[in-house]
Structure 1
Amino acid sequence: MLIDGHNHIGADLFFYLNGFYPYAQDLPALVTEGRRHGVDRWIVFPMVATAWFELAAMRQGQLRPGGPEKIPYAFENERMLREVYELFPDLGRFTLPFAMLDPMREPAAQAARLRELHHEFPFYGLKIQATMIQADAGALLGAGRCFLELAEELNLPILMHSSVVATDPWSEAGLLLRIVAATPRVRFCLAHSCRFDRVYLDQIASLPNAWFDCSAHRIHCQGATRELGFVAAPARRFAADYRDPNAVLHALAEAYPTKLIWGSDTPFQSYVARENGAVMSLRSTYEEEIACLQSVPAPLRTQISHENTLAFLQVKSPAGILHS
């Protein structure tokens, strides 16, 4: 069984209003395209921008409170879960929904709403993308500790966006790993291969409650070949030939066979936007991401797209992830 461990569904108003791509994906599109290329199950969660932010400010590229929703992600999580369980149950039964959260803003209200949702619509984990919403992930060890308590109570793993950019204090991978080390009874996955930072990947390998996913793998390889700032500096970069994304994925799987989880990040396997007067274009396709996985030898491919994902979810058999 091939499980895609990192997918967004819904609409991202911040990306749409500011001319960034991608900005939307619905459940039928995800499942239809994935099935064409042999994917069996999908971990899904909402897009990142939340209607808790004021819409007029988002149109100006700013994030300010005052939007139509009073609790961050309350609307987006329920909207996604209704799409999975009510609008398209025939497709939704092949997904494992994760709920999105803001680690810093209105934590008690968010946690209360998540408990209510979990009773009505089962979800299988929590997702944090702190960079785009400029929220300090470190709040999980302070005011946002209620989310760690919720994860432990409901046995939910946490998938976290990670960064190695000096100008990103919100999701810096070293900070995230301190949270992981301080919370041994909760399972964590750091996204995007920690931007190929070998030091952080080795730390994940040493922690029993930590994994990493390779989401948006091919455009991160493009970033390495172009020496773009969002990937690890050469001195800390995992040694591989980044001109060949297939070879990089194979090398990561061999180096971290029980820690790597395959995920596409669809639709964010591409990123296209106008920045500083020029167009930044990093493009891949779902088909190409899956082809990259298929290039990995079969035993390792099964490990990273099935066995490791089940270990992270703490599910023993494929039948355990087909909800009704």
Structure 2
Amino acid sequence: MIIDCHNHVGADLLFYLHGDFPYAQHLVAMHDEGRALGVDRWIVFPFVSHLALDISAFPNNEIKDEKGKLHDVPYAFENRRLMKEIYELFPDEGKSMLPFIMVDPMRNVAAQAQELRKLRKEYRFYGIKMQTTILQADIKHLRDKGKVFLELAAEWDLPFLIHSSVAESDLWAQASDILDIAEENPHLRFCLAHSCRYDKECLDRVQALPNTWFDCSAHCIHCEGAVKDLPYIAPRSRRFDSDYRDPARVIADLAAAYPKKFMWGSDSPFYSYAAEINHEVVRLISTYKTEVDALLVSPPSVVNCIANTNIRDYLKLDDESILS
């Protein structure tokens, strides 16, 4: 069995209105493309921006809260929309989905928790996803404003999957901050997305902490970023040692170094990214097939470990038949 542990379904008005790519993915299209490549199950969650932000500011790539909102509660619409798509609109494809809900740790958190309790009574979901960089909502709010999400995760025994960064300019999702929060909450489970941008110190902390994992989402364009020494990747002085010209080699090396902590995920459709940044078009382009091909170069035992058993351990789904 191959489980893809990191996928977005739905639409993102911020990316669409600002002119960035990608900005949408349909569940059935993701399912059909991935199934043809050999993927069996998908962890899925909504896109990043939510309707409780000022949509009128999106064309200027600005995050504001004052006006222009279509909803008062972050992700209330997006989470429910995802559940309906999985369980009601497309139940055949939905049987292969493991939905996570999205949360904003800074804005109207009490109302978010109330909506999630309602949702929990109607639908099953398997974890909690956060992408705080785009929201400009510091992940450290999990210690104060967003503490309710730690409490819900403990009550429902759900893991977190959190976008991580090591770039100095990213004030909101530092991998070291996420690891600090994980260390403070040993009763909860955390996955840091994007291989901690290949920061060896952070990866070694994941290895040391019993309640943390990492995923390799958007792996191939992160390898490209390493080859080009782009600022979103850990600098060479802190970078995990591998040959980043060969994404399959990097997967093999990460799996050897962190055999119980490494989870495979594509980050579909964000295995590709294109946008105008500082008046220059940035294009980092991969495909779902390229992501899967890099995985399948490894021996079947390694593939089974990083794309199946480690993910089920993280989810606490010990019996594979649960997913049948």
**Which amino acid in 1 is paired with 2:28?**
P
SS at match of 1:186: coil
Distance 1:24 1:126 in 2: 20
SS at match of 1:162: coil
Aligned twin of 1:157: 159
Q: How far did residue 61 of structure 1 move? A: 1.4
Aligned twin of 1:11: 11
Aligned twin of 1:97: 99
SS at match of 2:93: helix
Aligned twin of 1:310: 312
Q: How far did residue 219 of structure 1 move? A: 0.2
Q: Percent of pairs identical after alignment? A: 50
What does 1:134-283 correspond to in 2, within 5 Å? 134-283=136-285
Distance 2:320 2:99 in 1: 15
**Which amino acid in 2 is paired with 1:145?**
K
Q: How far did residue 277 of structure 1 move? A: 1.8
**Which amino acid in 1 is paired with 2:193?**
A
The Cα offsets for residues 66-85 of structure 1, whole Å up to 9 and x where unpaired, read as 31101000000001110000
Say whether the 8 Å CA contact 1:164–1:172 is kept in structure 2: yes
Distance 2:190 2:321 in 1: 23
Unmatched 5+ stretches in structure 1: none
TM-score normalised to the size of structure 1? Answer: 0.98
- Pair 1:52 & 2:47 matched: no
Say whether the 8 Å CA contact 1:96–1:321 is kept in structure 2: no
Distance 2:118 2:241 in 1: 46
Distance 1:237 1:82 in 2: 41
SS at match of 2:135: coil
The Cα offsets for residues 101-124 of structure 1, whole Å up to 9 and x where unpaired, read as 001111111111111101101100
Q: Which moved more, 1:239-248 or 1:52-61?
A: 52-61
The Cα offsets for residues 42-100 of structure 1, whole Å up to 9 and x where unpaired, read as 00000001011111111221111231101000000001110000100010111000000
Unmatched 5+ stretches in structure 2: none
The Cα offsets for residues 140-193 of structure 1, whole Å up to 9 and x where unpaired, read as 011211100000100100000000011111000010000000011110000000
SS at match of 1:131: helix
Say whether the 8 Å CA contact 1:257–1:303 is kept in structure 2: yes
Say whether the 8 Å CA contact 1:216–1:269 is kept in structure 2: yes
1:82 to 84, 95, 98: 84
Distance 2:235 2:188 in 1: 30
Distance 1:104 1:320 in 2: 35
Q: Which moved more, 1:311-320 or 1:33-42?
A: 311-320
SS at match of 2:214: strand
SS at match of 1:132: helix
SS at match of 1:81: helix
**Which amino acid in 2 is paired with 1:199?**
E
Q: How far did residue 319 of structure 1 move? A: 2.2
Q: How far did residue 221 of structure 1 move? A: 0.3
Aligned twin of 1:36: 36
Distance 1:57 1:169 in 2: 20
Say whether the 8 Å CA contact 1:103–1:137 is kept in structure 2: yes
Distance 2:134 2:63 in 1: 9
Q: How far did residue 278 of structure 1 move? A: 1.6
Distance 1:193 1:307 in 2: 18
Q: How far did residue 321 of structure 1 move? A: 3.2
Number of aligned residue pairs: give it: 322
Distance 2:47 2:314 in 1: 22
Q: How far did residue 287 of structure 1 move? A: 0.5
Distance 2:144 2:18 in 1: 32
Distance 1:319 1:93 in 2: 13
Runs of 4+ in structure 1 off by over 3 angstroms are: none
**Which amino acid in 2 is paired with 1:22?**
P
Distance 1:77 1:33 in 2: 23
